[in-house]
Amino acid sequence: MSTASQVSATAGASAAGSPVTPRGPHHEPSAWQRFRGKFDAKVVPYVLISPFFILFAVFGIFPLVYNGVVSFRRWNLKYPADDGWAGFANYSKLFSDGLFQNALINTFGIFLLSTIPQLLLALIVASLLNRKLRGQTMFRVGVLVPFITPVVASSLVFAYVFSKNYGLANAILGLFGVETTAAGTTFNGIDWRGTWWASWLAISIMVNWKWVGYNALLYLAAMQSIPKDVYEAAALDGASPWQQLWRITVPMIRPMVIFTVVLSTIGGLQLFTEPMLFGDTPDANGGSLRQWQTVGQLIYQTGWVNLNLGYAAAMSWALFIIIVVIAGFNAFLTSRIGEGSKR
Amino acid sequence: MSAPVRDQAPPSQEPKQNKPAMLSRSPQDTPAGWFNYVFLVATLLVGFFPVWWMFIVSTGDDTMLAKIPPQITPGDNFWTNFNIVMGNIPDGTQSYEYAHFGASFMYSAIVTVVITASTLFFCSLAGFAFAKLKFKGRDQLMVVVILTLTIPNQLGVVALYIIIARFGWQGQLTALIVPALVSAFGVFYMRQYILDALPDEIVESARMDGASTFRIFLTMCLPVIRPALGVLGLLTAVGAWNEFQWALIALGPGTENPTVGVALSKLASAQYPRPRISLAGSLLATIPLLVLLAVAGKQIVRGVMEGAIKS
């Protein structure tokens, strides 16, 4: 910085001191200036991006690749002497692993129960927000409260709300006369951790709660970029607001719907924190019979409870492939549904 | 469509207004009905419910959750529960000092501040280079950034753990901070913003005047991207404060220097978990973010909505 100002200062002084040889604005640059200009154009851009790319390469891209390498190795922190190449052993084990299949089924069950209501509710909230509204900012900020609430904190609340004996949910269900009799005892409400479907439902409620507002704002952003004359042209047949939403608005924001479907597929299939805190043990078992153990939890359990890093790496790769396939399939499906309603 | 109709029909001629009445307004121009307000208020109440329930339970005693019908008004034990969760006093014979909840606030604050500051600096530098400088391989490198945006982070987690273990960072805050110092989303977001916000002519004329690239970044780029820095900073801070899975893996469940999330999970997996204690902790962990939302909610909303449109 200082050298730059010095150079220009001396140049200015010499020009002022020798009026006999006036130099135009395009005076010959000195060797140093030329070097500096070249350096600035050729090297500086890379200097500016290098902190990002160095960190990004070491902690972002390299782990992705290295994870693949690890998945082909025996890498168990309990038996370090046993380390070595495993070939496809981790993967072939995966195909016949009942625990992995169970975790996959749980993950998909929770994913379906949480994604579909989540996006439908988000569409409705977005269309409610997409009006001339008093207190507009307050409502938009308000729907983000679940998004900023730490997921550990909110999951803990729900874990207690869905407790069998002292939970708020069962107390309320009890007021409506919902009772369960199991093993000779009768209690209000449902045993939320006792069955597959009840635990899936409880966890899905946590996920839905957290993401409806966020997705609603994404939809709102898309809705506000729809040209207004689309509505003027299409409303001649006297469509109700509800019909307007499904016939005009939703088809018009289809790219955003596809985007959110992909986003919630990526997030939903990696679900970890909610099921983790729904159980009260740190072993990531997801219930005594693994009723709600997700793949995310199983990877954690395999890698950091059982210390089998090689197998955990293979699971991560399998999960990644599954996410890519499902996200692609969902995007395709959504675009087809959108086309259907357009016709 | 409506304009020509209005031109032909002077306001005095009533019957001609038939047609404009048929033209409906876009939803944004339609005033909200009472049901809009009712549903939206209900949505806000549901969204706020866990925070409220944290507060109610954290003011109670052990008998509170067993009451039927449920107690929905606060009790008067908040300060007791607050002191227990902070480790100041034991709960009967059980001390919760082992969770290091009080100290976890400091650890989370350190992690959040360092990650946010570094993300803002490095991502705006790189975003500026990608938006306004010409260099070989620029477009290819940008494609790499965008591609990695869509890769689920869980994919690399085993390898990342092995790397930080090699560096000897297990159980240390360094393991949480260094991998998160930059983000692909940050570069992408800053690039998109700088493309529009900083005109090429200004950069060019500054260059003609002999300003170096770094000087242009400092004196011309930084001032105009302050709104974007605010948005990215808020989103980064919220994410860093709430991060749980990687913190649990990298620090380990038995850690002595947990983040707030890890400390909360330790409280919850106690041998005899006490909702009033762990929810007092949850409330404390949530308050900083509620304050942030109250102060800068507008910018956070903008970030969510703009981030969506730009991608």
pLDDT tens, B195-212?
989 999 999 998 888 888
Residue B5, pLDDT above cutoff 70: no
Mark yes or no for CB contact A153/B54 under 8 Å: yes
Mark yes or no for CB contact A64/B269 under 8 Å: no
Q: B1 or B68: whose pLDDT is higher?
A: B68
Chain A positions touching B238 (Cβ under 8 A) are 147-148
Distance of alpha carbon B135 from alpha carbon B20, whole angstroms:
55
Nearest to A217 by CA among A273, A256, A265, A252: A256
Q: What is the pLDDT of residue A78?
A: 84
Q: Over the stretch B81-126, which tens digit does the pLDDT of each residue have?
A: 999 988 888 888 888 888 899 999 999 999 999 999 999 999 999 9
Chain B positions touching A256 (Cβ under 8 A) are 308
Q: How far away is chain B from the Cα of A52, in angstroms, using its nearest Cα?
A: 6
Mark yes or no for CB contact B308/A217 under 8 Å: yes
Which CATH superfamily does the domain covering B100-310 fall into? Answer: MetI-like (1.10.3720.10)
Q: Find the CB nearest A156 among B1, B25, B278.
A: B278
State whether ipTM is beyond 0.90.
no
Alpha-carbon separation of residue A223 from A228, A231, A246, B1, B309 (angstroms): 10, 12, 12, 20, 10
| Mean pLDDT rounded to a whole number for chain A | 86
Residue B169, pLDDT above cutoff 70: yes
Residue A296, pLDDT above cutoff 70: yes
Domain spans of chain B? 100-310
Q: Find the CB nearest B293 among A127, A145, A226.
A: A145
DSSP tag of A161: H
Mark yes or no for CB contact A149/B50 under 8 Å: yes
Residue A281, pLDDT above cutoff 60: yes
Interchain CB contacts (distance < 8 Å): A and B? 349
Domains defined along chain A, listed by start:
25-71 (no CATH), 90-163+192-342 (1.10.3720.10)
Q: Taking residues A26-48, report their average pLDDT.
A: 82
Q: How far away is chain A from the Cα of B180, in angstroms, using its nearest Cα?
A: 8
Residue A140, pLDDT above cutoff 90: yes
Mark yes or no for CB contact B151/A156 under 8 Å: no
Mark yes or no for CB contact A156/B304 under 8 Å: no
By C-alpha distance, the chain B residue nearest A154 is B50
Residue A173, pLDDT above cutoff 60: yes
Chain A positions touching B128 (Cβ under 8 A) are 48
The residue type at A44: V
CB atoms within 10 A of CB A84: 10
Q: A6 or B249: whose pLDDT is higher?
A: B249
Mark yes or no for CB contact A40/B129 under 8 Å: no
Q: Find the CB nearest A171 among B37, B39, B70.
A: B70
Residue A316, pLDDT above cutoff 50: yes
Q: Over the stretch A69-94, which tens digit does the pLDDT of each residue have?
A: 999 988 888 888 878 888 888 999 99
By C-alpha distance, the chain B residue nearest A300 is B249
Chain A positions touching B28 (Cβ under 8 A) are 130-132, 223-224, 228
- Least confident interval from A329-343, B3-17, B43-57, B223-237: B3-17
Q: Taking residues B58-77, report their average pLDDT.
A: 81
SS3 category, A270: coil
- Winning range, highest mean pLDDT, from A26-35, A257-266, A298-307: A298-307
Q: What is the pLDDT of residue A12?
A: 40
Mark yes or no for CB contact A218/B278 under 8 Å: no
Q: What is the pLDDT of residue B309?
A: 57
Nearest to A203 by CA among A111, A121, A316: A111
Beta-strand relationship, A179-182 and A84-85:
unpaired
Best to test chain B binding among A156, A247, A256 (most B CBs inside 10 Å): A156
Confidence class for position A187, pLDDT limits 50, 70, 90:
confident
Q: How far away is chain A from the Cα of B65, in angstroms, using its nearest Cα?
A: 5
Q: Find the CB nearest A148 among B25, B69, B238.
A: B238
Chain A positions touching B26 (Cβ under 8 A) are 226, 228, 230-232
- In this prediction the pTM is 0.87
Q: What is the pLDDT of residue A338?
A: 58
Q: Find the CB nearest A144 among B179, B279, B300.
A: B300
Residue A299, pLDDT above cutoff 90: yes
| Mean pLDDT rounded to a whole number for chain B | 86
**What is the 3-class SS of chain B, one letter each residue?**
CHHHHHHHCCCCCCHHHHHHHHCCCCHHHCECCHHHHHHHHHHHHHHHHHHHHHHHHHCCCCCHHHCCCCCCCCCCCHHHHHHHHCCCCCECCECCHHHCHHHHHHHHHHHHHHHHHHHHHHHHHHHHHHHHCCCCCHHHHHHHHHHHHCCCHHHHHHHHHHHHHHCCCCCCCHHHHHHHCCCHHHHHHHHHHHHHHCCHHHHHHHHHCCCCHHHHHHHHHHHHCHHHHHHHHHHHHHHHHHCCHHHHHHHCCCCCCCCHHHHHHHHHCCCCCCHHHHHHHHHHHHHHHHHHHHHHHHHHHHHHHHHHHHC
Burial class (CB in 10 A: 0-12, 13-18, 19+), B146: middle
Residue A8, pLDDT above cutoff 50: no
Helices (H) and strands (E) in chain A, counts: 18, 4
CB atoms within 10 A of CB B16: 14
Q: Over the stretch B244-266, which tens digit does the pLDDT of each residue have?
A: 999 999 998 888 899 999 999 99
Confidence class for position A238, pLDDT limits 50, 70, 90:
low
- Least confident interval from A110-114, A117-121, A260-264, B64-68: B64-68
Distance of alpha carbon A333 from alpha carbon B156, whole angstroms:
28
Q: Taking residues A211-238, report their average pLDDT.
A: 84
Residue A64, pLDDT above cutoff 70: yes
Q: Find the CB nearest B210 among A4, A282, A320.
A: A4
Residue A343, pLDDT above cutoff 50: no
By C-alpha distance, the chain A residue nearest B278 is A156
Confidence class for position B151, pLDDT limits 50, 70, 90:
confident
Best to test chain B binding among A30, A54, A160, A165 (most B CBs inside 10 Å): A160
The residue written with tokens 């874990």 in the block is A159
Q: Find the CB nearest A228 among B26, B32, B293.
A: B26
By C-alpha distance, the chain A residue nearest B280 is A153
Q: Find the CB nearest A133 among B36, B138, B253.
A: B36
Chain A positions touching B300 (Cβ under 8 A) are 141, 144, 148
Mark yes or no for CB contact B122/A225 under 8 Å: no
Q: What is the pLDDT of residue B284?
A: 95
Q: What is the pLDDT of residue A54?
A: 94
Best to test chain A binding among B158, B160, B205 (most A CBs inside 10 Å): B158
By C-alpha distance, the chain B residue nearest A302 is B158
Mark yes or no for CB contact A238/B308 under 8 Å: no
The residue written with tokens 């989370």 in the block is B108
Residue A188, pLDDT above cutoff 70: yes
Distance of alpha carbon A290 from alpha carbon A42, whole angstroms:
57
- Least confident interval from A264-268, B146-150, B222-226, B263-267: B146-150
Distance of alpha carbon A247 from alpha carbon A235, whole angstroms:
10
Q: How far away is chain A from the Cα of B172, in angstroms, using its nearest Cα?
A: 16
By C-alpha distance, the chain A residue nearest B294 is A141
Chain B positions touching A226 (Cβ under 8 A) are 26
